[in-house]
Amino acid sequence: MIHVHSSVSTPQSDQWPSLPFQEWKQTYATLHMWTQIVGKIRLVQTPWINHSWHTALYVTSRGLTTSPIPYEDRSFQIDFDFIEHKLFIKTSGGEVKTIALAPRSVADFYTELFTKLGELDLKVKINTTPNEVAAPIPFEQDHEHADYDADYANRFWRALVHADRVFTQFRARFIGKCSPVHFFWGSFDLAVTRFSGRQAPAHPGGVPNLPDWVAREAYSHEVSSCGFWPGSEQMPQPIFYAYAYPAPEGFSMATVRPQGASYSAELQEFIFPYDEIRQSAHPDAALLEFLQSSYEAAADLGGWNRPELERPDLPLQFD
């Protein structure tokens, strides 16, 4: 059943927006599937890059993008625009197709998107079973998820913009191997990951509807990872998180700042509620403190060679 919501976004604001899980969970579930469809298109058309980095989406000043996707001697990209509430398909030949982001089923979105791709002579096929979710419904059969509240879609994107800004600043402090700041559509979270440079023990796998070899390749080397996740029924609030793989001895007992951060035995990671950040007098500084202190716990307890992996702060301006 399709539930109709307002298609008009709230005015833009520099403030970190409220994002109560229960208020937008149906839109979240639908948008999760839409991003999976788009992400799988990038997945099948892009050469495999270590740790599945070729599959992720990226935050833009208007939404999320695949970045350019190769197709024979052309390229194309798919952009979610959470201001105009449209999906854009753009090719290197100058063609543009659009799809309205509005209350509609996953099946309807899937059908229209692949129709538009066909009109652009982009013959792409994907595995239509969603990844990393329990009881997945193939996209072409999913008439259950059909909500789209434009205001909450816009709020979520604005939260991603803030997280992306701060994560990028945090990433700049590290000269060792480090991922981009990117959005994983399987788990529906924005993440950035630092690497010690050493190999890790084989990951046990067991992620729902994800081949174990993908998890093992993703975690082939030691990591300290952090991210932003909008929550779930089991954790019904948006959170920032930080974890280490493998977790060094004593990691769960480490002191992570600022006040409000804690270790979740259920998630096996440190968490810092988004609302704690949002309501802080200095949100960016509070989030950076969480990211830095959780990384230091992983790196110090794990014996990382920090002098070789980090750099001193650089001046903010240069000639």
**Digit-coded pLDDT (tens) for 134-187:** 999 999 999 999 999 999 999 999 999 999 999 999 999 999 999 999 999 999
Residue 272 parent element (H or E): strand 269-273
Closest CA to 220 of 245, 194, 244: 245
Q: Which of 1-10, 60-69, 255-264 has the lowest mean pLDDT?
A: 1-10
CA 3 – CA 31 distance, rounded (Å) = 14
Which of 120, 101, 119 shows the shortest CA–CA distance to 109?
101
Three-state DSSP class for residue 82: coil
User: Which pair of structure tokens corresponds to residue 50?
Assistant: 């270590």
Is the model's pLDDT at 4 over the cut of 60? Answer: no
Over residues 252-296, the pLDDT tens digits come to: 999 999 999 999 999 999 999 999 999 999 999 999 999 999 999
Residue 312: pLDDT above 90?
no
* Sequence letter at residue 41: I
Tokens 């796998």 -> residue: 205
For residue 9, what pLDDT band results from cuts at 50, 70 and 90?
very low
Higher per-residue pLDDT: 205 or 4: 205
pLDDT surpassing 90 at residue 192: yes
Q: What pLDDT is attached to residue 311? A: 87
Distance CA 22, CA 3 (A): 15
Per-domain boundaries in the chain: 21-149, 151-309
Structure tokens at 92: 């290197």
pLDDT, tens digit, 9 for 90 and up, residues 88-127: 999 999 999 999 999 999 999 999 999 999 999 999 999 9
Q: What is the pLDDT of residue 13?
A: 53
What's the confidence (pLDDT) of residue 93?
A: 97
- Which pLDDT value is given to residue 227? 98
